[in-house]
Amino acid sequence: MDAELNTQIRASTFHPKTLEMFKEWGVVDEIIQHGYKVDQLQYWERAPRRLIADFDYGCISDDTPYPYRLQCPQHIATRVLKPAVEATATGKVHMGHRLIDFTDHGTHVTARFETASGIVEREGSYIVGADGAHSAVRKHLNIGFKGKTYEDRFLLIGSDLKTEDLLPGAAQVCYIFDPKEWVIILNLPDIVRVVFRMTDDENEATAMQEGNLRRRISNFFGEVPPYIIKTTQLYRVHQRVTDTFRVGRALLVGDSAHNNNPSGGMGMNSGIHDAANLTEKFVRIWNGESDSILDDYSNERRQYAVESVQLYTDQQYNNMVMSAEEERERRNKSLSDAANDPAKARAYLLRASMLEERI
């Protein structure tokens, strides 16, 4: 829809399964070049500044050629992916086209787009809605998008702070539990993103004032050397999934079909996995199979969104806000036991890497 690729960082975690797909698509080396390979995943308790669990991705080095999570900004990755799509025999990217509506004729689809030079109509065998959480394709299909909106908002402050100096022992990615204000630290090349819980009763305009952003940083890290705030984002988080990912010749992928809590970094990754699954089905249809296999796409990916991504990310979120003393102790023990036992750590990291089928 936009005339240019988005310039916001948005997602920043690429899991091993996605990197394996990028390898097949010939883009992995270039994307890796733009990111940090993070080979530790840490969980901390905020108040006592205590490291609870430190998972070492070395545990899955026999399972994947990419035993780490790559921290690379989404808008950098899209700048590698777009030319790769355009370099294929059939790949064309038309920027500046906003879908208005479409008609499924049973044998093909026609769609109308608004462009700078007026309305254009295009025809294709199928339409794939990869048009985000407010998907025009999904709305046109009039299908349910049930789920919940979390009460908390996520407040993200991007800066040039050196978090490893401020929280000794901290890895480049840390989830820091606290019943009042959990924190997530995500280091990327050129920027560190510190994400804070913002409760529903906090006023947005007040919270976003620079002095208050800096106070939040100091409340957590203590005294900090001078630093530059590079970006801020405040967003609401939803957990929703559509009733189906397919209606006739229309299909949904990514955020148009499912939204989830970003803790765990699975939203963008699972959208890419949808696209890979669907492309494989399209190739089989092209080679003569019935297009009923598109129902398999819908069932497989919907099931994964509900039974895997949503369960995992919701659990991650619950861990971050857990308040009852007993529950917190149980959580800490379970994570610490898992991190310290190579077999359990392997299973945990395969799950966190969206490679659970290899457990």
Ligand X SMILES: Cc1cc2nc3c(=O)[nH]c(=O)nc-3n(C[C@H](O)[C@H](O)[C@H](O)COP(=O)(O)OP(=O)(O)OC[C@H]3O[C@@H](n4cnc5c(N)ncnc54)[C@H](O)[C@@H]3O)c2cc1C
Maximum Cα–Cα distance for the chain, whole Å?
A: 65
**Interface characters, 189-228, with ligand X (x: CB under 6 A):** ----------------------------------------
**Interface characters, 252-271, with ligand X (x: CB under 6 A):** --xxx-----x--xxxxx-x
Stretch 134-153 residues interacting with ligand X (CB under 6 A): 136
Q: In 183-254, which ranges are continuous DSSP H helix?
A: 204-207, 210-221
The closest alpha carbon to 13, from 28, 35, 30, belongs to: 35
Nearer to ligand X, 144 or 235 (CB): 235
- Considering the complex, what minimum distance in angstroms separates the CB of residue 253 from ligand X? 7
The closest alpha carbon to 167, from 38, 42, 49, 71, belongs to: 49
- Considering the complex, what minimum distance in angstroms separates the CB of residue 94 from ligand X? 9
The closest alpha carbon to 12, from 98, 71, 64, 94, belongs to: 71
Nearer to ligand X, 238 or 328 (CB): 238
Asked whether the beta carbons of 260 and 306 are under 8 A apart, the reply is no
The closest alpha carbon to 42, from 155, 169, 216, belongs to: 169
Q: Which of 96, 235, 289, 303 binds ligand X (CB under 6 A)?
A: 235
Beta-carbon count within 10 A of 6 CB: 10
**Interface characters, 295-334, with ligand X (x: CB under 6 A):** ----------------------------------------
Nearer to ligand X, 13 or 319 (CB): 13
In this structure, what are the phi and psi dihedrals at residue 87, rounded to the nearest 5 degrees? -80, -10
Q: Nearest 5 degrees, angle CA 334-CA 170-CA 229?
A: 125
Q: Which of 21, 28, 53, 131 binds ligand X (CB under 6 A)?
A: 131
- Considering the complex, what minimum distance in angstroms separates the CB of residue 256 from ligand X? 6
The H or E element spanning position 239 is strand 229-242
Q: Is 51 in the site for ligand X (CB under 6 A)?
A: no
Q: Is 233 in the site for ligand X (CB under 6 A)?
A: yes
DSSP single-letter state for residue 341: S
Q: How many residues bind ligand X (CB under 6 A)?
A: 28
Which one of the spans 21-29, 248-256, 278-286, 323-331 is the region binding ligand X (CB under 6 A)?
A: 248-256
Asked whether the beta carbons of 95 and 82 are under 8 A apart, the reply is no
Rounded CA separation 289/280 (Å): 12
Q: In what order do the strands lie in the sheet with 183-188?
A: 50-56, 40-45, 173-177, 183-188, 191-198, 145-159, 229-242, 258-259
Q: Is 93 in the site for ligand X (CB under 6 A)?
A: no
Asked whether the beta carbons of 161 and 224 are under 8 A apart, the reply is yes
Which one of the spans 2-10, 43-51, 59-67, 138-146 is the region binding ligand X (CB under 6 A)?
A: 2-10
Which one of the spans 10-18, 202-210, 224-232, 328-336 is the region binding ligand X (CB under 6 A)?
A: 10-18
Which one of the spans 6-14, 82-90, 140-148, 221-229 is the region binding ligand X (CB under 6 A)?
A: 6-14
What lies within 8 Å, CB to CB, of 47 at 6+ separation is: 178
The closest alpha carbon to 193, from 160, 144, 228, belongs to: 160
- Considering the complex, what minimum distance in angstroms separates the CB of residue 53 from ligand X? 20
- Considering the complex, what minimum distance in angstroms separates the CB of residue 222 from ligand X? 26
| Closest-approach residue to ligand X (CB) | 254
- Tell me which residues touch ligand X (CB under 6 A): 1-2, 6, 10-13, 74, 97-99, 130-132, 136, 156, 233, 235, 254-256, 262, 265-269, 271
